[in-house]
Amino acid sequence: MAMKILVTGATGFIGRQIVHRLRKAGAELRLASRHPQTLGPGHDTVLMPGFDAPVAAFLALTRDVTDIVHCAGLNNDDGNATEADFLAVNAELSARLAQAAATQASGRFIHLSSIRAVIGARVSATIDEDTMPDPQCGYGRSKRAAEIRVLEAYASLGRRDATVLRLPPVHGSGMKGNLATLMRLADTPLPLPTGALTGNRSLLSSQSAAGAVSHLLTHSGPLRPIYVGSDGPPVSVAEIVCAFRSGFGRPKRLMGLPGGPMRAAAIVLGKRAFWDSLTATQICDPSLLMSEGWLPETGTLERLAEIARLGNAQSPPFR
């Protein structure tokens, strides 16, 4: 039977890249989005049901497809979202989609998650599939709940063809969050006190994330319950800012201030959490995914510079 793949969140940041990758590979797709009108005519597009939609809506969504790539969700950059909002959209909706898919879709269910399901933004650690989950925010707790419920929906029917792909911060056209903020800050003529920001972190390009999804859909071996994706090598915040400034054609202008006074200033300004998140070292180990044939990208800083050159952050730069 030929593959027909349902991609939820098809108009989102990562969803767009996955659709492009799968369509380029010749896959037949059904695209679900809260904004299906933006996908244009000539596609099998449907409105993404809400978490409280009837069961029939999820059965209709997954009918006649073989595989599901679930990207839809509420992101942690939505400052107005409550923990109840995160749980409804990320956990409840994911569970109901997985329950419907497990009953009638014969192929694989790839659930996109985040390292926030296992670790807080201010914690330094190395993350792999065996990292003990300890989410520390409403978004992270909802993503962990979604992981559990998706895997349980398939396991309850004796199926082992659902998997979770945990992602570090993802960069690319339309990126949000701290990376977009750093890019906007880099596009100023002012010196930036980032010389003390030596904490390393793993990143992933949106194209690389799409490649990992495509690999999990098509590789011949059995799926493991959880995978961690990451490009390499890890980079520091100071290197990220330098890459953006290089792309903008600006000099580095980084001040090597010691971390202690900067942290104290951040506390006074009410920015302690943001400072701690910038100084934490968070390394993702993609060894399991690589052992099954996936290859990460290695040119992270070059990619970041190119994003700055193209002006692809979602928000306008500070001028």
pLDDT at 230: 98
Q: Which residues contact 220 (CB under 8 A, 6 or more apart)?
A: none
Distances (CA, A) of 19 to 56, 138, 168, 258, 309: 25, 28, 20, 45, 25
Mean pLDDT of 296-318: 78
Q: Which two tokens stand for residue 170?
A: 């993802």
- 255: exposed, middle or buried (Cβ count in 10 Å: 0-12, 13-18, 19+): exposed
* Residue 115 confidence (pLDDT) above 90: yes
Do 229 and 165 meet the contact criterion of CB atoms below 8 Å apart?
A: yes
In a 10 Å sphere around its CB, with 0-12 CB exposed, 13-18 middle and 19+ buried, how is residue 281 labelled?
Answer: middle
42 half-sphere exposure, CB direction, 13 A CA radius: 1
Cis peptide leading into residue 233 (ω within 30°): yes
pTM above 0.75, yes or no: yes
Express each pLDDT in 51-97 by its tens digit: 999 999 999 999 999 999 999 999 887 678 999 999 999 999 999 99
What is the distance between the terminal CA atoms of the chain, rounded to a whole angstrom?
Answer: 55
Residues near 21 by Cβ (< 8 Å), separated by ≥ 6? Answer: 207, 210, 211, 213, 214
pLDDT at 300 over 60: yes
User: pLDDT at position 313, please?
Assistant: 43
Q: Which two tokens stand for residue 171?
A: 């960069």
More confident residue, 232 or 90: 90
Confidence label for 108 from pLDDT (cuts 50, 70 and 90)? very high
Contacts of 186 (CB under 8 A, 6+ apart): 192, 241, 244, 245, 248, 250, 308
pLDDT (0 to 100) of residue 316: 40
Strand order in the sheet with 200-201: 125-127, 282-284, 200-201, 235-236
Provide the β-strand partners of residue 171: 205
With left for phi above 0 and alpha for psi between -120 and 50, is residue 26 left, alpha or beta?
A: left
Q: What is the pLDDT of residue 197?
A: 72
Give the pLDDT band (50/70/90) at residue 252: confident
The confidence band for 285, taking pLDDT boundaries of 50, 70 and 90, is very high
**Cα separation of 266 and 100, whole Å?**
47
pLDDT (tens digit per residue) in 129-166: 999 999 999 999 999 999 999 999 999 999 999 999 99
On whether the CB atoms of residues 140 and 123 are closer than 8 A, the answer is no
